[in-house]
Structure 1
C-alpha cells in the first residue's frame, strides 16, 4: 500500500509513462550511481584508472627521456663506448611508443576502451622499456674514466624507479613490470664481481623495488579516492539536476492548475452570481411581504434564512473570486487621490448597526488634517470593512473596538482596528494569515467565517506597496494594522480657480 501511494504521488510530479521526459538526467543518474558502487575489477572503474594513467604518462613524458639523455651523454663522455649510444635511442623509442599509446587511450571514449586489452598493452610497453633498463644495468665499462660506474648505474636506476612509481601509479603492476628484470640484472652483475659496493647497491635496489611498489600502491589508492570523490560530485550534480527537473515540472503543473482555476472561476462567476441574485431578491421580497402578507410566520422566517444563507454564499464567492484574481495577477488597481480618514470613517458608520446589535462600542481615534493617498479607494474600503467585520465577529457582547488613523514613523499613513476579544495564540497567527485558515479559539467563540479576509487584506496592501501587521495576545485582544508607505502619500494640492474649473468642465 505505501508503494502505491508513493508511485501515485510521484506520477503527479514527473510522468514516468513518457520516456522522453528527463531522459538525459535519468542516464546521468544511472551512470553516477554505477560509479559510486564501483571498485577495482569493475570494467567502468578500470577504464577510468586507465584514463588517469594515460594522462599521467602524457604529463610526465619528458621526465624519463631527460634522465636517459643525461645518462647517455655522461656515459659517452666517460668513455663507456658505443653500447650506451645504441641503448639511449632504443629506450627512447620504447617510451615514445608508450606515450603515443597513452595519447590514443586519452582521446578514446571511456566506454569504447577494452580494459583488459589496454591494461595488457600498457604492461607490455612498460616491460619492453624495462628490458632497455636491464641492458643498461648489464653494461660494463673497463676503460671508463669513472671509478664508481656501478654506483652511478644504481643511482640512475633508483631515479628511474622513483619517476615510474609516480607517473605509473594508476596502472597496477607497472613498476614491477618495468624494473623487476633490471634489478635482477644489476644484482646478478654485482654478484659476479663480488665487490662490496656493488653488493650493497644491489641490496639497496632490491629493497627499493618493494618500497617504491608500496609508494605506487599508496598513490594508486589516492587515485581511487579521487575517482570516488569525482563520482560523488557527479552524483550530487545529477541529483540536483533531477530535483531541478522535478521542481520545474511541478511548478509548470502548479501554474497550469492555477491558470485552470482562475479560468474556471472567471467563467463561473456570472453563472454563480446570477441565480444567487435571484434567490436573494425573491427571498427578500417574501421576507418583507412585498406582494402581500404571509399567513404562516414560519414561512417568513424561512425566507429570511434563505436570504441570509444566500448572502453568506455570495460573500464567499466574491472573496474567492477576489483572492483568485489577486493570485493570478488580474486584479487591477484603480488608483486615484483619496482620503484615508474619510474611507475608514464611512466604513465605521456602515458597521455601526452590526456592532450595536452585539452591544459593541466602536471608538474612533483619528488624526485629522491627513493629506490624501494615491490608492484604490475600493480596495482600501474592502480592507477596512474586512478588518472591522473580523473585529466585530470575534468581540464578545459588551466589548469595545478602537479604530485609529494616523501617521507612521516613516511618514506614511496607517489605520488599525483593535478589539478586546479572545485573542489568537502566537503559534496560530501564521495559520490565520493563510487562505482559509482560522484560529481554534476564534472558531469556538464566534461565528464561523471563510478565512479569506486577512489574506485578501495582505494581498491588497502588498499591491499598494504597504504592509500588514497582526498583533495578538491570548485573552487580551487583537490589533490589525494596515500600513501605506510614504510613496503613497500626496501633498496637499492648491485649489484651482473658478475659471479653470469651468474651463475644464467645458
Structure 2
C-alpha cells in the first residue's frame, strides 16, 4: 500500500485542552444571563464601580471643601470680627484631612464587591464627622452683630456648603443626609431654645434644601446606576458574542479541516481501492467466460457472474465517491480541449440505449444545427451527460420517453437538457437530492439505489467549468435536468439572428 500521504498537512489534532476553557466560558455566560434576567436594584458590582467614582471625584475635588471653609472663615471674620471662627476653621480642615486620608487609603487598596460595604461605612463615618463640624458652625453666635446679618451669613454659608457637598459626594449613597443631619438637628435645637424668626427661617430653609437635594441625589444616583448597568450589560453581551463567534469559527475551522482531510484521504486512496477490485473483476470475467476451460458446475458460473456484476457496481460507487472527494480536495484538474457538446450527447445516448430498450423507453434527440465547439474537459462533460441520462433511464417507467435537447442559451452559452416523464421529485426534496449522499423518497423506494452522488458530481463539474446546473421537477410530471456552459467557453460567437430566421433543430428518435 502506498505511504505517500502527507502527514504534516492532513493530520487533524484535536485540542482537548479547550474543554476546561469552554466550561469556564459557559459558567461566565450563564452567570451573566442570570444576572441580566433576575437582577433588581443595584448589585454589589455596581456599588463598587460607583464607590470608585466617588473616590476619584473626592481626589479631584480635594481642595473644594478647604477653599469653602477658608472663604467662609475670612468673610465671617470680616463681617463679625469673631476670632472664634478661626478655631472652627481649624476643626473643619482637620476633619476634612481625616476624610482625605480615608480616601487615599481606599484609592491605594483594591476595593472589591465583598468589602465595598465596609468602605462605604468608613466614608459615611468621615462624612458624619464633617457634619459635626458644620453643626458646630451652625451653633456659632455673634454678640456684636445686630439684626439678622449673622443668620443671613450663616444660612448662605451652609447652603453653599450643602451644594458643594452634594456635588462632590453624588456617588456615595446617603452622604448628603449623613453630612448635614447633625446640622439640621443643631439648627432645630437652636430654634427651639432661641425662637428668633431669623434662626427659625434659616433652619426651615436648610431643612427644605436638604430634603430637595436628597431627593435629587437619589434620582441622579439611580440614573447613574442605570447607565453603568447598561454599559456593563453591553460589555457582557459583546464579550458573549465574541466568545460565541470564536467558538463558532473554531468549530467551523475544525469541521473544514476534517472534511478536507477526509477528501484528501479518499482521493489518495484511489489506487489502493481500485486495484483489488480490478483483480476481482478480471478473474471473475475470465471464469464466467470460461477462457481457461469450462466450469463443470453451472452454479459456479452463475456465482462468477454475480461476483463480476457486484464488483462492477462497487467499482462504480467507488469511482463516484473518489470523483467527489477529488473535487472537494481541489485535486480534480480539468483537461480542456475543443469538443462538441452535441457529439458528446449523442455518444452518451448510444451508451444507454441497451438499458433503455430493455425498458422499452424511447429517447428523442432535439439539437440545433451548426453549433460550434466549446472549450471544456471532454471526459468530465461526458460524465455529466451520462449521469443525467442514467438517472433518466433509471427512473423512467416501462414504455416511457426521454427527450434530449442541446442548443443555445439566451446569454450565448450552450446547454444540454434531459427530460423524462418519470414519477418526478417533490419540490421540497430537490435540495436533498442535490446534496452529497442525498436521495429522494422515489429513489429510496426504487430497486436501483445508488450513492446519491451523481447530481452533486454534476454540479461540481459544471462549477469547475463556470457553468450552471438546473433541476426542474414536479411530482408525477417528470424531471428535467439542464447542464449549462457559459458563453466564454464557446469558441465561436453566436451569429446575429434576424426576426425572419428560424432555428430548425435536427430531430432523432431512438426506440
TM range (shorter): 0.7 to 0.9
1:222-251 deviation per Cα after TM superposition (whole angstroms, max 9, x unaligned): 444444434433432343344234324423
Find the counterpart in structure 2 of residue 217 from structure 1: 218
1:314 to partner: Cα distance: 0.5
1:93 to partner: Cα distance: 7.6
Contact 2:432 / 2:438 at 8 angstroms: preserved in 1? Answer: yes
C-alpha distance in 2, partners of 1:317/1:181? Answer: 93
Find the counterpart in structure 2 of residue 239 from structure 1: 240
C-alpha distance in 1, partners of 2:337/2:64? Answer: 82
Change (3 A) 1:271 1:92: same
Change (3 A) 1:475 1:221: same
Contact 1:130 / 1:178 at 8 angstroms: preserved in 2? Answer: yes
- Tell whether 2:374 aligns with 1:401: no
1:273 to partner: Cα distance: 0.8
Change (3 A) 1:360 1:87: farther
Change (3 A) 1:33 1:76: farther
Find the counterpart in structure 2 of residue 453 from structure 1: 454
Change (3 A) 1:177 1:359: same
C-alpha distance in 1, partners of 2:71/2:374? Answer: 90
1:219 to partner: Cα distance: 3.6
C-alpha distance in 2, partners of 1:346/1:445? Answer: 27
Find the counterpart in structure 2 of residue 353 from structure 1: 354
Decide which moves more: 408-417 or 155-164: 155-164
Contact 1:80 / 1:144 at 8 angstroms: preserved in 2? Answer: no
Find the counterpart in structure 2 of residue 503 from structure 1: none
1:184-236 deviation per Cα after TM superposition (whole angstroms, max 9, x unaligned): 23334444552334323412422443443343334443444444434433432
C-alpha distance in 2, partners of 1:97/1:367? Answer: 102
Decide which moves more: 211-220 or 278-287: 211-220
1:349-402 deviation per Cα after TM superposition (whole angstroms, max 9, x unaligned): 222222222222222222333344333332222222111111111111221222
- Tell whether 2:378 aligns with 1:380: no
1:141-168 deviation per Cα after TM superposition (whole angstroms, max 9, x unaligned): 6767996553464355445445544553
Contact 1:262 / 1:325 at 8 angstroms: preserved in 2? Answer: yes
Matches within 5 A, 1:32-431: 32=32, 44=45, 46-57=47-58, 105=106, 109-111=110-112, 114-140=115-141, 150-151=151-152, 153-158=154-159, 160-162=161-163, 164-165=165-166, 167-431=168-432
1:95 to partner: Cα distance: 5.8
- Structure 1, unmatched stretches of 5+, are 1-11, 494-506
C-alpha distance in 1, partners of 2:191/2:234? Answer: 52
1:445 to partner: Cα distance: 4.5
Decide which moves more: 77-86 or 454-463: 77-86
Change (3 A) 1:275 1:85: same
Change (3 A) 1:94 1:386: farther
Change (3 A) 1:60 1:329: farther
1:346 to partner: Cα distance: 2.4
Find the counterpart in structure 1 of residue 470 from structure 2: 469
Change (3 A) 1:18 1:434: closer
Change (3 A) 1:338 1:348: same
1:112 to partner: Cα distance: 9.5
C-alpha distance in 2, partners of 1:424/1:490? Answer: 36
Change (3 A) 1:360 1:214: same
SS of the residue 2:436 aligns to: coil
C-alpha distance in 2, partners of 1:18/1:260? Answer: 23
Q: How many residues align?
A: 481
SS of the residue 1:429 aligns to: helix
C-alpha distance in 1, partners of 2:283/2:30? Answer: 68
Change (3 A) 1:145 1:393: farther
Change (3 A) 1:356 1:153: farther
Decide which moves more: 390-399 or 120-129: 120-129
Change (3 A) 1:409 1:183: farther
1:71 to partner: Cα distance: 5.7
Decide which moves more: 65-74 or 353-362: 65-74
SS of the residue 2:180 aligns to: helix
Contact 1:166 / 1:219 at 8 angstroms: preserved in 2? Answer: no
TM-score with structure 2 setting the length: 0.79
1:431 to partner: Cα distance: 1.1
C-alpha distance in 2, partners of 1:241/1:128? Answer: 48
Change (3 A) 1:74 1:242: same
Decide which moves more: 268-277 or 25-34: 25-34
Contact 1:404 / 1:416 at 8 angstroms: preserved in 2? Answer: yes
Contact 1:401 / 1:420 at 8 angstroms: preserved in 2? Answer: yes
1:432 to partner: Cα distance: 0.9
SS of the residue 1:369 aligns to: coil
**Superposition RMSD in Å:** 3.9
Decide which moves more: 61-70 or 413-422: 61-70
C-alpha distance in 2, partners of 1:158/1:71? Answer: 12
Matches within 5 A, 1:14-29: 15=16, 19=20, 21=21, 25=25, 29=29
Decide which moves more: 122-131 or 171-180: 122-131
Change (3 A) 1:193 1:111: closer
Change (3 A) 1:55 1:467: farther
C-alpha distance in 2, partners of 1:66/1:362? Answer: 105
Contact 1:435 / 1:451 at 8 angstroms: preserved in 2? Answer: yes
Change (3 A) 1:159 1:30: farther
SS of the residue 1:351 aligns to: helix
- Structure 2, unmatched stretches of 5+, are 1-12, 495-511
C-alpha distance in 1, partners of 2:50/2:30? Answer: 20
Contact 2:139 / 2:190 at 8 angstroms: preserved in 1? Answer: yes
TM-score with structure 1 setting the length: 0.79
